[in-house]
């Protein structure tokens, strides 16, 4: 018996940032640009300080920005990647393509942030991506 494929919107890419972070502010436009190119992927911009109550103690461990969390699955999201990345469109594009193609599926990422980030991403998605105001 084969397992039905997950719907295309089962991929979430969340940028975990801080409002005071200059690198995050500069990355916001790039993140939004890549999000526009992938309407089948949920992109979310999540300020870890604004949502610290929801994210819990693990968010306090995020010290470098931008930090990306890539999740797969609409029900009980599975983290595929959690880490700091170079703030370049090409890097983000390659990560999205790898997650879509399944080449990240063997990744083992343990994080308590998966559920809270998925919930925030679903609640705060606006036209594909939430980004801070310029």
Mean pLDDT rounded to a whole number for the chain:
80
Cα–Cα distance, 13 to 16 (Å, whole number): 10
Cα–Cα distance, 79 to 53 (Å, whole number): 20
**Is the alpha carbon torsion for 32, 42, 92, 67 positive or negative?**
positive
128: Cβ–Cβ under 8 A, 6 or more apart, which residues? 32, 35, 36, 38, 39, 42, 43
**Mapping DSSP to helix (H, G, I), strand (E, B) and coil, where does residue 13 land?**
strand
- Residue 59 confidence (pLDDT): 74
Structure confidence by residue, pLDDT tens digits, 88-130: 999 999 999 999 988 877 666 767 677 778 878 777 653 444 4
Structure confidence by residue, pLDDT tens digits, 47-94: 988 888 888 777 777 888 889 999 988 677 888 888 888 889 999 999
């Amino acid at each position: 018996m084969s397992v039905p494929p997950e719907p295309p919107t089962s991929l979430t890419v969340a940028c975990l940032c801080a409002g005071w972070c200059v690198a995050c502010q500069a990355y916001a436009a790039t993140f939004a640009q890549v999000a526009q190119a992938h309407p089948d992927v949920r992109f979310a911009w999540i300020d870890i300080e604004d949502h610290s109550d929801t994210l819990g103690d693990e968010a306090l461990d995020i010290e470098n920005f931008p930090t990306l969390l890539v999740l797969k699955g609409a029900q009980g999201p599975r983290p595929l990647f959690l880490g700091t990345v170079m703030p370049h469109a090409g890097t983000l594009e390659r990560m999205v393509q790898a997650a879509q193609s399944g080449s990240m599926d063997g990744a083992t990422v343990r994080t308590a942030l998966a559920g809270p980030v998925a919930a925030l991403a679903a609640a705060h998605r606006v036209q594909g991506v939430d980004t801070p105001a310029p």
